[in-house]
Amino acid sequence: MTLEPSVVAEPDLVQLLTPEGVRVEHPDYAIDVHDEQLRSLYRDLVLVRRLDSEATALQRQGELGLWASCLGQEAAQVGAGRALREQDMSFPTYREHGVAWCRGVDPLTLLGLFRGVNLGGWDPADNNFGLYTIVIGAQTLHATGYAMGVQRDGAVGSGDPEVDTAVLAFFGDGATSEGDVNEAFVWSAAANLPVVFFCQNNQWAISEPVERQTRVPLFQRASGFGFPGVRVDGNDVLACLAVTRAALEHARSGQGPMMIEAFTYRMGAHTTSDDPTRYRVSAELEKWRLRDPIERVRSYLVRSTDTDADFFTDLDAESERLAEHVRAGCRALPDPEPLSVFDTVYVDAPVELMEQRDTYAAYLDSFVPAGAS
Amino acid sequence: MTLEPSVVAEPDLVQLLTPEGVRVEHPDYAIDVHDEQLRSLYRDLVLVRRLDSEATALQRQGELGLWASCLGQEAAQVGAGRALREQDMSFPTYREHGVAWCRGVDPLTLLGLFRGVNLGGWDPADNNFGLYTIVIGAQTLHATGYAMGVQRDGAVGSGDPEVDTAVLAFFGDGATSEGDVNEAFVWSAAANLPVVFFCQNNQWAISEPVERQTRVPLFQRASGFGFPGVRVDGNDVLACLAVTRAALEHARSGQGPMMIEAFTYRMGAHTTSDDPTRYRVSAELEKWRLRDPIERVRSYLVRSTDTDADFFTDLDAESERLAEHVRAGCRALPDPEPLSVFDTVYVDAPVELMEQRDTYAAYLDSFVPAGAS
Amino acid sequence: MAAVTLAKAINAGLRRAMEDDPKVVLMGEDIGKLGGVFRVTDGLQKDFGEARVIDTPLAESAIVGAAVGLALRGYRPVCEIQFDGFVYPAFDQIVSQVAKMHNRSRGAVRMPITIRIPFGGGIGAVEHHSESPEAYFAHTAGLKVLTCATPADAHVLIRQAIATDDPVIFFEPKRRYWVKGEISDDLSVPMHEARVVRPGTDCTLIAYGPMVATALDAATAAEADGHDLEVIDLRSLSPLDTATILASVERTGRLVVVHEASVSFGLGAEIAARVQEKAFYSLQAPVLRVGGFDTPYPPSRVEEEWLPDVDRILDAVDRSFTY
Amino acid sequence: MAAVTLAKAINAGLRRAMEDDPKVVLMGEDIGKLGGVFRVTDGLQKDFGEARVIDTPLAESAIVGAAVGLALRGYRPVCEIQFDGFVYPAFDQIVSQVAKMHNRSRGAVRMPITIRIPFGGGIGAVEHHSESPEAYFAHTAGLKVLTCATPADAHVLIRQAIATDDPVIFFEPKRRYWVKGEISDDLSVPMHEARVVRPGTDCTLIAYGPMVATALDAATAAEADGHDLEVIDLRSLSPLDTATILASVERTGRLVVVHEASVSFGLGAEIAARVQEKAFYSLQAPVLRVGGFDTPYPPSRVEEEWLPDVDRILDAVDRSFTY
Ligand SMILES: Cc1ncc(C[n+]2csc(CCOP(=O)(O)OP(=O)(O)O)c2C)c(N)n1
Ligand SMILES: Cc1ncc(C[n+]2csc(CCOP(=O)(O)OP(=O)(O)O)c2C)c(N)n1
Ligand SMILES: [Mg+2]
Ligand SMILES: [Mg+2]
């Protein structure tokens, strides 16, 4: 039997809220959201965009060494982040500031590595949010292993919503080419692990368009490994929420992995070091601006709910407070002590390393001007 | 859109000659073979099995350090090997003795690495047959790169059968889990390369059944990357020939990669170092013995063609001569000189390495009894 | 206790670790029913089940990457890499994740991962089955690197490696898997301590893993020439027990380091560098190195010539005495 | 010729190599329209087309593995690894294929592959962007390992690397990409020759890549103390030009080796081991090493403290003079 790949030129996206702000239904992914929840999602979107733009500004001011903006991807990240239950684990790349936000991570926690005062430095267990991972794709295998642990702990398919646990692994379109990501697919499928692979296809891997990585839509990749794949409008927070919820439930209930391709767009540069004018045209940007993830929710709230002006004014104020928190907090992040580089290399540090530390400490002391100690 | 993987419990195999030796037709893969060609295929199958069993015997006698038998997989290898045109390139694992045979490689050439007198030691360009590759999956990327070269040389889609070139990459069921193999799929698909991925699913990766690697049939993997996959009866030399021919033509004509899963069985141990009784039951072996790749061709030749007894007697004699060639040739393979380890590390060897060599040479000389030089 | 093979000593250590801590899981290719190609995990899947002795897909990067995830979930994974030459696909996960995650989290997460690797040559194998990649890992901050030369050490060290909260690359001398010796439950010897396996006065030989036995043979042979050699088994390659090394060299004044790995940029280089720095005035001769040549591991029919042996060690010892 | 940046010097070298040999192809992530994250391949895709300047999928093992295949088809691939920390996924293809294929074929096939890697720290980058993995490759038989410290050398060495039929790992000192200097077409200096960049009489400093400038600064500063330091730029890390090193140490009697990589098991170890062996009686002090600490590369806000600098080099020089 020959299986011809079913190439769908423009495959349907799961969409529940059009770019114009109109609610539509989807046969597979129904969602029942109250206006209050919608406002709450809107709040997240707005605040995530705000903290992101604040960080970009801080980089320009020299307060951060680098920033990887999530501009344009807020709906994908908030939708996915809000679908998680407390016990679920998530493994981000370096761009999931919106997921971090939904998990309750203080944005300042994220800034450390971009400022260069640490390499991440948070505890994944604090918010069930993994450390930012810069090596493309590596975290998908960590998600796989974590899901093995979940499975061994009996926290899959028990039917108890407090117990059953899924793992959500984030990665980009470019990452789908890495061996690690495909090995994660292999293993999760073969072992029927409770992991959801959430690919934000933002159309670019730095300067390379997604066509450099694949000639078919990425969500189709999953079927080759034997698990379902779905493409969702990554700029539609409702659709992302509904689809991720369903996928996580699929995983928690013991049906194994699922892949989600959130079709979205990187509205900014790859990072603050990047210059996208060298490789892409502004027309593309204009097209995607019309599909803005926040604008459509605002339209809906204004037109189809009784959200009053106070809500928006209050949110503006909250947004300002967050921005101030980010700015002030960033500047206050202390530089590490030179000797701190030795602190956490090992749990049980070798004598020789401690000697190296002591020698260096003595060397540093030798610069202290006489009488200054 | 959600793509549910189309799980086919027992997907059809392309089959053109049943285990009972009955010719059947397949809508997609017609083949027109004369009796003479069938005899020639039969001859290859028989001789490959003979050289393989001779090598196994030589290992038992201590003449080889190791042998990886292709017993049971002769049809897959001869079918694939015979489908190649002279200009096509092939990249084997360590088990493709049947492909080597079809490419015109003297079996003795293969024995060197198993005897331990070299690490392969042949020139891939001699017969367009790559070096045996022991690191699982690595050669699939070499095939990918070679195919890039073919594409750059304009040797794809020209319509000239002397020019258009395909690349055939062999690997096992276990290998499908390696990152390298999946990266080869990614790249070949994205760049539309003239490469055919030929997976011999012999049901086992040493002691691990194929279920450890996948929960869906392996030929489906290709569709996730956007190219066709086909499962063929790997014990049917006609089907393997027809399908590989078609796939190579697909590649040569510029339509990009294809994947073939040859469904077969490793009748022997993984290698002579392995003890399969620890992990598999003989009933499975019995089942597969009924699907023997050689027996069915013999049945067909005897029953449905005018092949006379002389053909079989002559082949027996030829087989004996081949065995003798292998035995005698193997024993005659010279051990390498100790100093030869320095010979081919670099094309342009560093002075320091040559000094290391000279020092070692002097050291060796110091053992020569006085007056013995 | 009765004498057991080195392979069995590790097997018993793994068993004990699994009994002591339900979070210990083993993962690797063919470690289940087959018990591993060297039978080191023989019987463990039968006794501890498929959830704790895991036959993995054929993907080394995944084996190590999944171990990282398991560790994050509170497990204590022990990975088997089938042969030394197959650890390289996992190199990225080892160097960039296993070694760095604890530090990346500023100590919040721990990586109690043990990666077992049968290493070294001398068993007549084909390419990639006789490598000595230990220097790559010793040069990688965040990892600890252990070896063993006897059943007794193998048993204790594997248990210590699993028990420690730092990641350990555990090199097993595959050609010594069948050597027999007694094992004991005494875990009191510190994991990173080198051991003087033969005291001597004239020259120090340092070896580890498969070369310890060869070094001891050389020391015995040297007696005939009236040389009393001291032999040190490093056991720990990272960190190095520099104190034990220096104490010996300060007494003997001479040092020869032996390993199978290519001599350049190998363990011997680091040891020579440290010793000439820290024992500058004690050295009566330069530190000399005996190792594999700076070539790929050779075809097996010539491996005995390529590998350091008693004669090549003695040749170096003799050269040392010429100073 | 006018002065150009080191990045531009490599760019010009790549261009020249592509003009000279139609089989030269470049491959890597973002090397096309973007010209690479450091713009080293700027303009080359425009001039040589997408078939010869290839934006690859995001898969380092594939980049190197495909280069092997291209080499087998008669091409001369030049791979760019975007940052030092991303070479590890390709480690298996480099160590087991690129380095060994020529030998596996007993000389029948050649691997004229150049793997360019921007390396080292000091640019304020995030994790994995400041690594110094050169020792891993120097320890791997079958590879040649080059570095460059000036535009002139960068230009010549990249052309020599591409022209040679052996595989070369080519380390580019990323924090010196913007340093300017003249370049020339004179390819007569042998590829593996070290260069005395500052003659001196009292103590030798050995450095390579980004540390050469730092070593020169240290030598200048030492003049104030009345010390005349000799500075050697290794250029080739494998093979090492031991002759040049020994000639210098035999004159000065003292040696300090400087590199960014973690000091243990790094280049300094091999150099110390060779020098103490080959120049035993010339050394008036032990070979001292100044390198990164045995920790992962630190957060950028503390990298200037972690990296060797003029003061730490002079501190080592002073210690050398105490002997
Ligand atoms: C293994 C590895 N190779 C290369 C890089 C350099 N790099 C950083 S981000 C990036 C592109 C990633 O693209 P994608 O996966 O689509 O994620 P996005 O940045 O678009 O969110 C590259 C090549 C890296 N971080 N890791
Ligand atoms: C990277 C790597 N890991 C592990 C091995 C050890 N090994 C050799 S053959 C083999 C199983 C291969 O199975 P499969 O791909 O199905 O090929 P088969 O041997 O069945 O033909 C393994 C695990 C290896 N050679 N290379
Ligand atoms: Mg992207
Ligand atoms: Mg198999």
What pLDDT is recorded for position A12?
Answer: 82
B14 lines ligand 2 (CB under 6 A): no
Torsion, Cα of A106, A108, A109, A114 (10° steps):
140
Query: How many C-beta neighbours within 10 Å does residue D66 have?
Result: 33
Q: Does C136 contact chain D (CB < 8 Å)?
A: yes
pLDDT at position A9: 43
Q: Are C277 and D286 in contact (CB under 8 A)?
A: yes
* Residue A370 in this model has a pLDDT that exceeds 80: no
- The CB of A285 under 6 Å from ligand 1? The reply is no
Name the β-bridge partners of D180. Answer: D5
Omega into D239 within 30° of 0, i.e. cis?
yes
Nearest CA to ligand 2 atom 19: B205
Which residue in B114, B213, B353 is closest to C294 by CB distance?
A: B353
Instruction: Return the ligand 2 atom nearest residue B95 CA.
Output: 21
Report the separation in Å between the CA atom of A117 and the middle of ligand 4, taken as the mean of its atom positions. 49
To test the pocket of ligand 1, the residue of D82, D92, D93, D115 to mutate (highest count of ligand atoms within 8 Å of its CB) is D82
Cα distance between residue B68 and residue C206, in whole Å: 38
Residues of B with CB under 8 A from a CB of D: 89, 118-126, 130-131, 135, 138, 140-150, 152-153, 179-180, 183-184, 186-187, 190, 343-348, 350-353
Nearest to C74 among A149, A343, A346 (CB): A149
Q: What is the pLDDT of residue D2?
A: 80
pLDDT mean across residues, chain D:
98
Ligand 1 binding pocket includes A204 (Cβ within 6 Å): yes
pLDDT at D62 over 70: yes
Other beta carbons less than 10 A from residue C64's beta carbon: 27
C-alpha to C-alpha distance for B259 and B244, rounded to whole angstroms: 9
Please tell me the predicted confidence (pLDDT) of residue B11.
63
pLDDT score for A171: 98
SS3 per residue for B231-275: EEECCCHHHHHHHHHHHHHHHHHHHCCEEEEEECCCCCCCCCCCC
CA C39 to chain centre: 18
Please give the pLDDT value at position B8.
Answer: 46
**Cis status, amide bond into C239, omega within 30 of 0:** yes
Position A8 scores a pLDDT of 46
B189: left (phi over 0), alpha (psi -120 to 50) or beta: alpha
Please report the DSSP string for C211-257 in residue order: HHHHHHHHHHHHHTTT--EEEEE--EEES--HHHHHHHHHHHS-EEE
DSSP state of B62: T
Q: Tell me the nearest-neighbour CA distance from D322 into chain B, angstroms.
A: 33
Closest-CA residue of chain B to D242: B352
Q: What is the 3-state secondary structure (H, E, C) of chain A?
A: CEECCCCCCCCCCECCECCCCCECCCCCCCCCCCHHHHHHHHHHHHHHHHHHHHHHHHHHCCCCCCCCCCCCCHHHHHHHHHHCCCCCEEECCCCCHHHHHHHCCCHHHHHHHHHCCCCCCCCHHHHCECCCCCCCCHHHHHHHHHHHHHHHCCCCCCCCCCCCCCEEEEEECHHHHCHHHHHHHHHHHHCCCCEEEEEEECCEECCEEHHHCCCCCHHHHHHHHCCCEEEEECCCHHHHHHHHHHHHHHHHHHHCCEEEEEECCCCCCCCCCCCHHHCCCHHHHHHHHCCCHHHHHHHHHHHHCCCCHHHHHHHHHHHHHHHHHHHHHHHHCCCCCHHHHHCCCCCCCCHHHHHHHHHHHHHHHCCCCCCCC
Question: Is A347 close to C51, i.e. CB distance below 8 A?
Answer: no
Q: How far apart are CA A138 and CA A118, in angstroms?
A: 20
pLDDT for the residue numbered C2: 81
For residue A33, give both structure tokens: 């959201």
Dihedral, CA of residue A159, residue A162, residue A167 and residue A168, to nearest 10: 110
List the catalytic residues of A.
266, 270, 279
Q: Which whole-number Å values give the CA distances from A297 to A21, A128, A225, A356, in the listed order?
A: 6, 28, 35, 57
- Mean per-residue pLDDT, A192-199: 98
Percentage of chain B with pLDDT > 70? 96
- Which residue, judged by its Cα, is nearest atom 19 of ligand 1? A205
Residue that wins the pLDDT comparison between D1 and D29: D29
> Rounded to an integer, what distance in angstroms lies between the CA atom of residue A270 and that of residue B309?
73
Task: Give the HSE-up count for residue C22: Cα atoms under 13 Å, Cβ half-sphere.
Answer: 3
Q: Is the pLDDT of residue A373 over 70?
A: no
Please give the average per-residue pLDDT across C6-35, as a whole number: 98
Please provide the size of chain B in residues. Answer: 373
Strand, coil or helix: what is D17? Answer: helix
Q: What is the pLDDT of residues B90-126, one digit of tens each?
A: 999 999 999 999 999 999 999 999 999 999 999 999 9
Assess whether pLDDT exceeds 80 at residue B372: no
Single pTM value for the model: 0.98
Convert the pLDDT of each residue in B17-72 to its tens digit. 999 999 999 999 999 999 999 999 999 999 999 999 999 999 999 999 999 999 99
Do A5 and B216 make contact, defined as CB atoms within 8 angstroms? no
pLDDT tens sequence across C115-171 = 999 999 999 999 999 999 999 999 999 999 999 999 999 999 999 999 999 999 999
Nearest ligand 1 atom to the CA of A200 is 21
Subunit contact A208:D85, Cβ cutoff 8 A: no
Helix D310-321 × helix D211-224 angle, to 10°: 60
Q: Which residues of B are catalytic?
A: 266, 270, 279
φ, ψ for residue D255, nearest 5 deg: -145, 130
| pLDDT tens, residue by residue, A153-183 | 999 999 999 999 999 999 999 999 999 999 9
Name the interface residues of B facing A (CB cutoff 8 Å).
1-8, 11-14, 28, 176-180, 182-183, 186-187, 189-190, 192, 211-216, 219-231
Residues of C in contact with A333 (CB under 8 A): none
Q: Is the pLDDT of residue A124 over 90?
A: yes
Distance from CA of D124 to the nearest CA of C (A): 17
* Strands annotated E in chain B: 2-3, 89-91, 167-172, 195-201, 204-205, 208-209, 229-233, 258-263
Interchain CB distance below 8 Å, C296 and D270: no
Dihedral angle over CA of A154, A155, A156, A161, nearest 10: 140
Please say whether the beta carbons of C295 and B346 come within 8 A: no
Size of interface B-C (CB pairs under 8 A): 115
> Ligand 1 pocket, A173 CB below 6 A?
yes
**Best of D139, D267, D271, D289 to disrupt the C interface by mutation (most C CBs within 10 Å)?**
D139
For residue C162 the two structure tokens come to 């699993």
* CA D27 to each of CA B36, B148, C17, D81: distance values in angstroms, whole numbers, following the listed order: 48, 11, 47, 9
- Tell the residue nearest (CA) to atom 20 of ligand 2: B205
Closest partner CB to B2 (pick from A6, A177, A230): A230
Give the Cα separation of B171 and A358 in Å (integer).
Answer: 53
Choose among A113, A360, A51: nearest CA to D124: A113
CA atoms of A96 and A74, how far apart (whole Å): 9
**Does residue C244 surpass a pLDDT of 80?**
yes
CA distance C74 to chain D (A): 24
Task: Give me the residue from A152, A186, A348 closest to C165, CB to CB.
Answer: A348
**Closest ligand 2 atom to the C-alpha of B176?**
15
Give the three-state DSSP class for D173: strand
Task: Match 């080597």 to its residue by tokens.
Answer: B100
Question: Does C55 sit in the ligand 2 pocket, CB within 6 Å?
Answer: no
What is the Cβ-side half-sphere exposure of residue A45, based on CA atoms within 13 angstroms? Answer: 28
The pLDDT-based confidence of C62 (bands split at 50, 70, 90) is very high
Q: Kindly list the residues from chain B whose CB atom is less than 8 angstroms away from the CB atom of residue D68.
A: 141-142, 145
Amino acid in the structure at residue B263: F
* Closest residue by CA, ligand 1 atom 4: D86
Cβ-nearest to B11 among A1, A28, A187:
A1
pLDDT at A88 over 70: yes
Place of tokens 């010549």: D156
Euclidean distance between CA atoms A276 and A206, whole angstroms: 8
From residue B224, alpha-carbon distances to A214, A259, D177 in Å are 10, 12, 41
In this prediction, residues C280-300 reach a mean pLDDT of: 98
Q: Which of C27, C30, C83 to mutate to test the interface with B (most CBs of B within 10 A)?
A: C30
Place B370 in a pLDDT band, splitting at 50, 70 and 90: low
Contacts of residue B363 in chain C, CB cutoff 8 Å? 312, 315
* Among the listed residues B55, B58, B102, B54, the one whose alpha carbon sits nearest the alpha carbon of residue B77: B102
Q: For residue D74, what are its two tokens? A: 């008669």
Looking at all shown ligands, the one closest to residue A133's CA atom is 1
Q: Minimal CA–CA distance to D146: which of D231, D78, D208, D65?
A: D208
Determine the Cα–Cα distance for residues A86 and A91; give it in Å rounded to an integer.
14
Would the CB atoms of C272 and D268 count as touching at under 8 Å? no
Counting every residue written for chain A, the total comes to 373
Distance A205 CA to ligand 3 centre (A): 4
What is the distance in angstroms between the Cα of D34 and the nearest Cα belonging to chain A? 6
B97 lines ligand 2 (CB under 6 A): no
